[in-house]
Amino acid sequence: MGAVDVGMDSSEPLVVIGGPEEIGQKVFWRFTGLVKIRSTREPLRVPAILQEVAHEVESGRYAAGFVTYEAAGGFDPALRTLPPGPLPVAWFGIFDQVETLGQLPHSQNGGIEVLSVQPALSAEEYRERWQKIHLYLAEGHTYQTNLTFPLYVRLAGSPERWFSRLYGAQPTSFAALIKTEEFVVVSLSPELFFRLEGGRIVCRPMKGTAPRGRWWQEDESQRARLAESPKDRAENAMIVDMVRNDLAKIAKAGTVRVTAAFSVERYPTVWQMTSTVEAITDVHVVEIFKALFPAASVTGAPKVRTMEILCELEVAPRGVYTGAIGWLLPGGRCQFSVAIRTLWWHKSIREAVYSVGSGVVWDSTPEGEYEECLRKASVLTTRPQIFELFTTMLWDGNRLFLLEKHLQRLERSAQYFGFPFSVDSAKMLLQELVQPWRGRRRRVRLFVDRSGQLRADVSPIPALSRGKTIPVRLAAAPIDPNNVLLYHKTTARHMYQQLCTCPDAVDVILWNPRGEVTETTLANLVVEINGKRLTPPIDCGLLPGVFRQYLLETGQVEEQVVTVEELRRADRLYGVNALRGWIPLRLLPPEPDREGSWGTSIT
């Protein structure tokens, strides 16, 4: 397999799907040399189509495509769904070649835009369906029901660029792009339906979700909360039991086992709970689909009765959403994802379709479930930003001040954003960089990009009236404390540049919508009131500065919320950072035209 770059603007049919997971990296395959297409709009024909596909693969060719949720009745007549929509219920391309992509393009924002998003269900309409499910739960018809609904989306921009944009916002191992003259499917699924290789079948159901935190400690708290959540563990365990039972239909006796339970995986906007179930089998792909499809995580329990309830309550066919997308290779290897987080177009309809859903159980709330559904659609409007993480250090002529704390913060931010980062490599780079500057004070900056590439620079410490008080003003507008970039040192500085617009001040003091001060654009803030030196807590919306952390650990300052009014009555103000230490600040008097804007906002 040769390494290539994907031709993102080709008018030819295009199939790009995540290959087998590799340690430390994602692998993507482009299927080329189209020989034929096998597809159907009849659910009862799907097993025969899969059999034909498997036969082509046995002859040495490669196959890639999808099976929609509405294909379920073709594998088992007891599984009810709504009638199929405009997409084929099964579509597979048969190819002569598979090429490994040397680079999967991402983060291209030019020429694409979300024009409108319209959920098929309002909050009240969702509540009505949730209430019906609750009655079914009370009567014992179902134990968990995964209710879904589509969002109809009007988009500007080519499908290829949307694939690029969405992958940039949410890179996953099972990303897929299937483009034909009739339809386009873009999937960012993180969930493995099954992988078969050498007689070993692996399933990894995903059930249990929590939002990400804004900085490392808050993020870890969210992870721990999900890991210990009784509700999420119960939902996950229920789905795992279903997968075990389904696998038992095709597995060799005694080989079904749970190899990882209640694992929590990090994704750009959410934490997800997964478990891994494995077995040994000698059956072919058609029998696997008959036993497992659709995935237990997208229906509920028990599967047959719950799908009847879903058929009653859902407002539109799911299409490829919650179906399966994947590939088959010679030698019996195949892999399919559960097609969640999937966007599709068809030439017969005006809008694109992006569906969302969640598992309704007895202790669910309609508000919580509806909010979770809409949160899952946020990837559509999340514009991926290209930035580097960095840290700024003081080389005092002999050592890098607080080096270990700098590297720890950088490592945690890299972990948060999914940037590869090697502390040892960083130390080697810095050691080589500073050697020529022994005996001279310098500013040293260390950067890491999304690929894990390190770079560093050394320069004179920029001039700042040393020992003198620095004039500052309050920013004219509040910061958004939900902006995660506030909590990490990045090269995305535009938000600070927009706020620092006072010609008579060197810097501005930032504040949040609650009227609490946070930091300056260049330093953390220390406010001295009645002999106490106070620094705002991180959750006010600020960078967890390295020198700030040192001052807290050594007892020189303490955390406390400080309001704008308390700031005005402070005895002394300081900016603090690891490069300059303590920087005396002087708050300039209010400007009426500027102060009115913040004064109105915070009262």
**Max intra-chain CA distance, the chain:** 83
Helical axes 216-228 vs 403-417, angle rounded to 10°: 50
Band (596; pLDDT cuts 50, 70, 90): very low
Closest to 480 in 3D by CA, of 541, 412, 567, 554: 541
Q: Is the pLDDT of residue 466 over 70?
A: no
203 Cβ neighbours under 8 A, 6+ residues apart: 192, 193, 194, 243, 247, 276, 277, 278, 292
Q: Which amino acid is at 41?
A: R
What pLDDT does residue 499 have? 80
User: What phi, psi does 561 have (nearest 5°)?
Assistant: -65, 135
Tokens read off for 75: 């594998």
Phi and psi angles of residue 359, each rounded to the nearest 5 degrees, phi first: -90, 115
Question: How is residue 265 written in tokens?
Answer: 């995986």
Active site (annotated) includes residue 207 = yes
CB 94 within 8 A of CB 124: no
Residue 199, classed as helix, strand or coil, is coil
Which residues pair with residue 508 across a beta bridge?
A: 473
The predicted-structure confidence for 63-79, as pLDDT tens digits, reads as follows 999 999 999 999 999 99
So what's the pLDDT on residue 104? 63
Torsion angle, CA of 335/336/337/338, rounded to 10 degrees? Answer: -150
Mind giving me the DSSP string for 387-445?
--EEEEEEE-SSSBTTHHHHHHHHHHHHHHHT----HHHHHHHHHHHHGGGTTS-EEEE
Strand partners of residue 535: 559
**Token pair listed for 456:** 């560093």
Active-site annotation holder among 207, 376, 405, 489: 207
Q: What is the pLDDT of residue 3?
A: 30
Nearest partner of 206 among 290, 322, 126, judged by Cα: 322
User: Tens of pLDDT along 540-562?
Assistant: 999 999 999 999 999 999 999 99
R_g of the chain computed on alpha carbons: 28
Specify the pairing of strand 352-360 against strand 62-67. unpaired
How many Cα atoms sit within 13 Å of 312 on the Cβ side? Answer: 13
Using pLDDT thresholds of 50, 70 and 90, give the confidence band for residue 271: very high
Would you state the structure tokens that stand for residue 220, as one six-digit string?
């870890």
pLDDT value of residue 600:
33
Q: Quote the pLDDT of residue 576.
A: 98
Q: Is 249 a catalytic residue?
A: no
Q: 226-240, pLDDT tens digit by residue?
A: 999 998 999 899 999
> How far apart are alpha carbons 446 and 455 in whole angstroms?
6
Residue 454 has pLDDT above 90, yes or no: yes
Instruction: Count the neighbouring beta carbons within 10 Å of the beta carbon of residue 590.
Output: 14
Q: In 3D, which of 50, 11, 337, 72 has the Cα closest to residue 187?
A: 337
Q: What are phi and psi of 598, to 5 degrees?
A: -80, -30
Q: Are 321 and 82 in contact (CB under 8 A)?
A: no
- Residues 160 and 376 sit within 8 Å (Cβ to Cβ): no
Confidence of residue 592 (pLDDT cuts 50, 70, 90): low
Instruction: Evaluate if residue 108 carries a pLDDT over 70.
Output: no
How many C-beta atoms surround the C-beta of residue 440 within 10 A?
12
Give tens-digit pLDDT for 341-382.
999 999 988 889 999 999 899 989 999 999 989 988 888 887
For residues 259-276, average pLDDT:
93
- For residue 110, what pLDDT is reported? 63
For residue 127, give the amino acid letter. R
pLDDT at res. 290: 97
Binning pLDDT at 50, 70 and 90, where does residue 19 land? confident
In angstroms, how far is CA 535 from the centroid of its own chain? Answer: 32
Q: How confident is the model at residue 22 (pLDDT cuts 50, 70, 90)?
A: low
Give the tens place of pLDDT for each residue, 149-197. Answer: 999 999 888 888 888 888 887 888 899 999 999 999 999 999 999 999 9
Residues ≥6 apart with Cβ < 8 Å to 435: none
Q: Which of 56, 191, 314, 411 is catalytic?
A: 191
Chain mean pLDDT for the chain: 91
Residue 379 is predicted with a pLDDT of: 82
Domains, the chain, in order of start with CATH, read: 3-380 (3.60.120.10), 389-459 (3.30.470.10), 470-602 (3.20.10.10)
User: In this structure, are strands 389-395 and 442-448 parallel, antiparallel, or unpaired?
Assistant: antiparallel
